[in-house]
Structure 1
Amino acid sequence: MVVSDVVIQILSKLPPQSLLRFKSVCKSWYHLINHPKFVTKHLLDSFPHKHVLIKRALTNHSGKQELVFSILKFSLNGSVSIMDINLTFQEIDPLLELCGHSHGLVCLSDCDDAFLVNPMTRQFHKLPPSILIFRGCHHDDPDYYSAIPFTIGFGYDAKSSDFKVVRIVSCRGQAKSSMRVEIYDLSKDKWREIEAPDLCGNARFIPSFDMCHEGIFYWWGYGEPRINEVDSIITFDMSEEIFGKISLPESFNDTKHKISLRVLNKSIILFVYPFESNETNIDIWEMEKDESSVVSWSKLLTIDPPFGVEHPLLFVSCEELLMESSEGHVIMYNTATQLFKKLPIEGDVTYAKPHRFEAHDLFIESLLPVEGGRDMINYDF
């Protein structure tokens, strides 16, 4: 039976969880929903509807920790709907960090192992072993005695229509130490090594800071004090496979401030807030680029949230900010009215605070597969 264009139009507007159920209606619907062209159409129809993704680990009644994704959808009238997705994969440690998302796919990793997950379809794919990581003294190259994963990032390469994972590995030996970089291409389902510039060694894996935006991955860049090197932001262009470096606002002091990177109105912003819990001021800076791509920072505003609402997560609108409370709740804080409300999302009280939650905006619900080795050129985004 041929599926009509009208039915295709209707189905492409539905959420993935409904489509997964509808695959059992008949064979024609099953083949349609699995077809790459329909998956692409569904994704394109989903792009205008971007949500907030919150990852957390919860302890269930049996005492085991589970991985939970919460999808937050915000309506025009200010209400918010929350959908929790429990992923009880025995193969995936619930405490793995979220190191990027794109087109509905999420990468979870501890830098050693990495998984691609589609929370909506509940599919996961464990990436092949690294071609660089090794531990111990036995290796072909006598200069090296170990190669330890340093940091990792995930994003979409619009140029090749492929998803990539980039991993920086620290190699240390008796005679020298160096950094090496490998790239995983989902379409090929394998790793390859690329040239590693010196500055990639500054990148640090900090989930509350790391993110991918418009094909560029951003890490915290640690400055080495003994050589008078200042902290910065390290970037990686997923298409050109080139590392870069961005300076931080001059007022930033790593001995006094914590920092996180997010997006507001398609612009990169920085949350800069104090270490001391009795200080609550949060400065918000916006990144600006001139015609020569030279970066500068301008301060948007300073907010002073109420006591106990201490850790910024991300903006969901120009005035509404998601924050983490000291008691392990997600708080919606209005920067204009200074009013706040508690959302029904709680973190595990046994987990270290703050940062019980990993929150990411611009999340899209999709049917994209996570299996490696597919010809991703079919997905013309």
Structure 2
Amino acid sequence: MDMAAQHPTAALLLCEVVMEILSWVPAKPLTRFKLVCKSWNSIISHPHFVKLHLHRSPKNAILLFTRAQALTLGEEEKQSLVLSSVESFIQNPSSSLDAQENRHSLHVEDWVSGSCNGLVCVADILFHSNDDICDIWFRLWNPLTGFVSVNTPCLRANVHNSFGFGYDESSDSYKVVTVIPDSSGTVTAHVYSFRDGSWKTINSLPAFLFYAEDNNGHFIGGTLNWLGLRNPRGDDYDWADVTLDMLMIVSFDLKSDTHKQILLPKGIDEMPREEPILGVWGNRLYLLHDYNNTHFIAWQMKEFGDENSWTQLLKISFHHLGVETLFPEFIFENGNIFMLRGRHCFEEVFYDRRDNSVKRINNLANNSYFIAFDYVESLVQPC
């Protein structure tokens, strides 16, 4: 048998073996492995490999968007994005936030509207002299590879808007959604596909108002989800006037551009004293709120979209947490660790339900506040 005739098959087999091995390597080393040789660069850059690697990547990091306050008069406010593993952040939050090697600078006007598959969606917002109007541009950014997309066409909107960012697997497209309610109660969604490079308008959303403290849409299962108020009167509200029947979850499907409403857990029988929030970890949706200003409660939707799968995951007293009142912020480790913020100071409380332990950190953000996103390092660079 002619050995030369076997060379193409042998080369193909070797390529598949190399691809299989490299697909289990963390994303950061792979950016250096591309320099080893042309064949490795070709393998690592191939869209099939990028998707395979993403599928096999563990979600072992969080994305921290921080906006530091100016400490002295006249000092310019600074913003940055920090990457840290969950383990490192929980063990030493302050050091993780201060680590320069994982810090990326942002413009003062930038706002992180979401993270998905290693991509960060950044909104550049220009406010007009009329405080109710702003211009918004969006871009995608991969902090690991340095990839930055071109800006979207400008979207003019009122300032009472909310962003959401996610991935439509059916069209292999990353999309950003801007939801804009007006004073009459009408809600409009503007959807931009980075693959198609175009905006489209959806006018069929129900009248609802989202919370200022929780205005990013939460991506899960191909949908973006907001917690809000049904049929609000105008574009503002007083929480003291809100009733349980006004609370709703709006879920927007990125594939069909349609929406549905998801009911809150049936076990909620009393209005929280403070606004509840949604959270996502892995493929689970969470609802976090206080009870009678004495307990913190966490609900988990075990099967996304199935309202009967809401399960009360946690009920813990403020006394046990060592606080008088608090606000939920983020969830780690499949709903096992909760990060909560004290009300009157820069204090973060970490509660681990596996061993019932409590850890408190004062002045964590060094006179700044931050927002945490679930994040995974990847090689994704969309068209």
Q: Distance in 2 between matches of 1:241 and 1:332?
A: 37
Match of 2:247?
231
Structure 1: gaps of 5 or more residues: 135-146, 375-381
Aligned 1:308-327 pairs, distance under 5 A = 310-312=326-328, 313-325=330-342, 327=345
1:180 lines up with 2:198 in the alignment: no
**Cα 1:64/1:257, change in 2 over 3 Å:** closer
Alpha-carbon distance in 1 for matches of 2:45, 2:61: 24
Contact 1:99 1:207 (C-alpha < 8 Å) held by counterparts: no
Q: Is 2:227 the counterpart of 1:220?
A: yes
| Displacement after TM superposition at 1:344 (Å) | 11
1:16 aligned onto 2:15? no
* Aligned-residue identity in percent: 24
Structure 2: gaps (5+ residues): 1-10, 126-134, 235-242
> What is the deviation of 1:44?
2.1
Q: Is 1:103 equivalent to 2:117 in the alignment?
A: yes
Q: Alpha carbons of 1:252 and 1:234: their partners in 2 closer, same or farther (altered >3 Å)?
A: farther
- The aligned residue for residue 144 of structure 1 is none
Number of residue pairs aligned between Structure 1 and Structure 2: 336
2:103 aligned partner: 86
Query: How many Å separate the matches in 2 of 1:258 and 1:79?
Result: 29
- Provide, for residues 334-365 of structure 1, a one-character-per-residue CA deviation record: whole Å limited to 9, x for no partner: 2354423467993240x3xxxx232233x322
Structure 1 letter corresponding to 2:218: M
Q: Deviations over 1:262-281 (max 9, x none)?
A: 24674322110269xxx452
Whichever structure has more helix as a proportion of its residues is 2
The 1:247/1:19 distance shift into structure 2, 3 A limit, reads: same
Supply the distance in 1 between the matched residues of 2:146 and 2:358 (Cα, whole angstroms).
Answer: 33
SS of residue in 2 equivalent to 1:125: coil
Which amino acid counterpart does residue 215 of structure 1 have in structure 2? Answer: G
Residues 24 and 56 in structure 2, CA contact (< 8 A), matched pair in contact too: yes
Give the aligned residue type for 2:67: A
**Pairwise CA distance, 1:198:** 4.7
CA 87–230 in structure 1, closer or farther in 2 if over 3 Å, else same: same
1:91-240 equivalence runs, <5 A = 92-93=107-108, 96=111, 98-109=112-123, 112-130=136-154, 133=156, 150-170=161-181, 178-194=186-202, 196-199=203-206, 201-203=208-210, 206-207=213-214, 210-224=217-231, 230-240=246-256
Q: What TM-score comes out, normalization by structure 1 length?
A: 0.72
Q: RMSD over aligned Cα, in angstroms?
A: 3.9
Instruction: Provide the residue aligned with 1:286 in structure 2.
Output: 300
Give the partner amino acid of 1:241. Answer: D
Q: Does 1:247 align with 2:263?
A: yes
Distance 1:358 1:108 in 2: 13
Change in Cα spacing, 1:208 to 1:169, as seen in structure 2 (3 Å) is: closer
Q: Distance in 1 between matches of 2:379 and 2:285?
A: 28
Q: Deviations over 1:197-236 (max 9, x none)?
A: 2515534564476411111211122234659871211110
CA distance in 2, matches of 1:25, 1:224: 59
User: Secondary structure in 2 aligned to 1:33?
Assistant: helix
Matched, 1:267 2:284: yes
